[in-house]
Amino acid sequence: MAFRPLTARAPAVLLREAKPLKAIFGHAQRLGHLQRLVESQLQPAAREHCHVASWREGSLLLIVTDGHWATRLRYQQKRLQRQLQLFDEFASLTRILFKVQPPTTQQGAAGHTISLSTDAGATIQATADGITDPNLRAALERLAAHAKPKT
């Protein structure tokens, strides 16, 4: 008897029919809806730094990217709680918890890469040629050395 693999099914069908995936997908959709409600009450600058982690038994857990934003949100906690309680989803909200969790990937912190065009490098070198201060001239020449060679 030969093994016949199951026919492939579309991801949307799997999300609707497979019970474990359906539960995970439903929970993700619920958190996404709660996230949108919370974002509607946050300042625009704070929205990218605050994410809903869980909502159960009257307690809302928000993950914040750094201590600065956590402090700012704690100052606004009572106002935020009153505004969220106006939504049916948060009618039983009794407390908001803030946990700091920095992003797992650091954006742009991998290292300083300087890329200058050859024109920019030539302009910086020409500026360095006209400078009499030796320290400033050396710094400009080091900067000009980062220019990409023409290929």
Mean pLDDT for 134-146 is 89
Partners of residue 55 on adjacent β-strands: 60
Q: Is the pLDDT of residue 75 over 60?
A: yes
pTM comes to 0.60
Angle between helices 19-41 and 77-85 (to 10 degrees): 120
Q: Which domains does the chain have, with CATH numbers?
A: 11-100 (3.30.300.180), 114-150 (no CATH)
- Determine the pLDDT at residue 54: 94
CA distances from 81 to 59, 85, 148 (A): 10, 6, 54
Mean pLDDT for 123-141 is 90
Kindly report the average pLDDT of the chain as a whole number: 87
Give the residue with greater pLDDT, 14 vs 146.
146
Kindly report, residue by residue over 102-130, the tens digit of the pLDDT.
888 765 555 666 678 888 888 989 999 98
Strand order from edge to edge, sheet including 95-100: 50-56, 59-64, 95-100
Structure tokens at 105: 């990937």
Nearest 5°: phi and psi at 91?
A: -60, -35
Place of tokens 């969790």: 101
- Percent of the chain exceeding pLDDT 90 equals 52
- Determine the pLDDT at residue 77: 94
Of these ranges, 7-21, 53-67, 97-111, the one predicted with the greatest mean pLDDT is 53-67
Give the residue with greater pLDDT, 32 vs 12.
32
